[in-house]
Structure 1
Amino acid sequence: MNYEAKYITEDIKLSRYEDAFFKSDIMFEHHMLIWFISGETKIVQADATYVFKKGDIFLIPRNQLATIINYPKDGQPHKTVVMHLSVQKLREFYAKLDLKPKPLESQKIYSFNNHPLLESCLASLIPYFDMEELPEDIASLKITEAITILRTIDKDIDNVLANFEEPGKIDLAGYMEKNFMFNLPLEKFSYLTGRSLTTFKRDFSKTFDTTPQRWLTKKRLELAHYQFAEKRKKPIDVCYETGFENLSHFSAAFKKRFGYAPTDLLNKVNTNN
């Protein structure tokens, strides 16, 4: 992977990928405001899939699970400006405001495509990535500017940005059934379900009568089989969208589980249709 990143601070970076694509399963620890300069990104969540490309601006709320697939496009690299809106910075911003955010049942990705104020704010960062000495507090000022613009163009965004609650203990079975396709460490799953790792493993065993890894592998392979049989998706797409990191490993695991390779199943499905 040919990857380059330039930073103004750890919260603001210019990210560039040159390879065919880059895939990662992520839990977002901070809100992320992203402006696309070139390339394309596919974001797969449990209940929605998004595609973003040149000119798009979007906000990903924190504590979200997603599979991210980045592609170069039209001969241009995958290139974005990424701004982290950390809890610490947001607490400082909202400390002077008397607000009581409404609890959100679910979080979504917020799209602000081609909004002139946000684009101007993020585009103005570009010259700073090549400067050795930055103006004092420029990063903090730009983050404050971005938050102010977000509040101006979306009156409900305070319910997202000013919500500082950590995940509480939730229904383990329901959460895992919805999010098993994300290939994350068990420590992340335990945090997002409001448990210590020890409690997570204990509760998981009681709920599913097996280990997390065995259950996750079984569920991911069952989903992969469905994607082939009903959606006729390509092996490479199914591999990355069901929590596997390597196509050859995925194909071997699939054949061991079902007795035939993904390509054999696809050939049979295509022949019958």
Structure 2
Amino acid sequence: MEHVSTYLTPEIKLSCYEDHFFKSDVVFDHHLLIWFISGRTRIVQADGVHDFQTGDIFLIPRNQPATILNYPQDGLPHKTVVMSLTTDILRAFYSGHPVKAVSAPVPKIRSFRRHPLLESCLASLVPYFALEGPFLPELATLKLTEAISILRLIEPDLDGLLANFDDPHKVDLIRFMEKNYMFNLPAETFGQLTGRSLTTFKRDFKKVFDTTPQRWLTHKRLELAHYQLAEQRKKPTDVCYESGFENLSHFSHAFKKQFGYSPTRLPAPPAGRNSASEREAGRNHG
């Protein structure tokens, strides 16, 4: 069965993946508040790897590259209730709830496992997905307002994130790419996230890295993959997806071309030694 999403409104949906693995490299345009009903997800971001399962509630910030890996679990589908906290919704909310100027916190995933207020708010939406007929707009506004209010109550510093409507500005290219190279995103998306047009991104990239984005990205991802296999003893399948490759066949071919052996046949490293490039890859990803 394919992925099925049932929408109450464009901002509120029930998402379901039936009994199959799913991978996607994405940058969300809006903050997402997600409640897990069943299944399991691994989210790889620049700050680390996050695992979520039944009962978990978490907020994913907008404009942050991520690799999403969805798995069925315990014979149940991967099922979530998702609220999209769009810029329009948040602008409307904060027009009636002005806040003092606050610094924006680090845009990272926030976890609220089985928080009773958030769980009650999101669980109350589930019966509506089975009903026929439209979901009243005023009900959607009430539910979204309730969710935002609870988030602010739990973590007051979230105002600095939720009330920040700035678009990505031109950032240091070296620092950004060293932090986010493991996400399999188009060059155009990397450009947008660094505040550049595609043409300017490619020009600036050539100037600072003296190569093309694709060549540099492939090399960096393979260095990370080798580190994860040799030092962290991860499985080739996990390494493939967490280091920015789309499938195991392409990963294995590229890995063998660069290192001379397949991901499943790494030579035993000398005791207590690993290459400088691998150590650097580990630091950048850890």
TM-score above 0.5:
yes
Q: Which runs of 5+ in 1 are unaligned?
A: none
Contact 2:19-2:75 at 8 Å conserved across structures: no
Alpha-carbon separation, structure 1, partners of 2:135 and 2:194: 42
Alpha-carbon separation, structure 2, partners of 1:89 and 1:18: 31
Alpha-carbon separation, structure 1, partners of 2:228 and 2:155: 36
Give the 3 Å change call, closer, same or farther, for CA 253–100 of structure 1 in structure 2.
same
Q: Please name the residue that 1:236 is paired with.
A: 237
- The one-letter code of the counterpart of 1:171 is D
Alpha-carbon separation, structure 1, partners of 2:253 and 2:131: 49
Partner secondary structure for residue 269 of structure 1: coil
Q: Does 1:269 align with 2:243?
A: no
- Percent of residue pairs identical: 65
Q: Please name the residue that 1:56 is paired with.
A: 56
Give the 3 Å change call, closer, same or farther, for CA 153–106 of structure 1 in structure 2.
closer
Q: Please name the residue that 2:184 is paired with.
A: 183
Give the number of aligned pairs.
Answer: 271
| Aligned alpha-carbon RMSD (Å) | 1.8
- The one-letter code of the counterpart of 2:197 is S
Give the 3 Å change call, closer, same or farther, for CA 188–269 of structure 1 in structure 2.
same
Q: TM-score scaled to structure 2, two decimals? A: 0.90
Partner secondary structure for residue 231 of structure 1: coil
Return the offset for 1:269: 3.0
Alpha-carbon separation, structure 1, partners of 2:98 and 2:271: 63
Alpha-carbon separation, structure 2, partners of 1:166 and 1:179: 18
Q: Please name the residue that 2:217 is paired with.
A: 216
Q: TM-score scaled to structure 1, two decimals? A: 0.94
Give the 3 Å change call, closer, same or farther, for CA 193–6 of structure 1 in structure 2.
same
Contact 1:167-1:193 at 8 Å conserved across structures: yes
Return the offset for 1:135: 4.3
Alpha-carbon separation, structure 1, partners of 2:38 and 2:270: 39
- The one-letter code of the counterpart of 2:60 is I
Return the offset for 1:233: 1.2
- The one-letter code of the counterpart of 1:161 is L
Alpha-carbon separation, structure 2, partners of 1:73 and 1:91: 38
Alpha-carbon separation, structure 2, partners of 1:251 and 1:135: 48
Return the offset for 1:97: 2.6
Return the offset for 1:132: 2.6
Q: 1:170-204: CA deviations, max 9, x gaps? A: 10011001110000111111111111111111100
- The one-letter code of the counterpart of 1:181 is M
- The one-letter code of the counterpart of 1:45 is Q
Q: Which runs of 5+ in 2 are unaligned?
A: 273-286
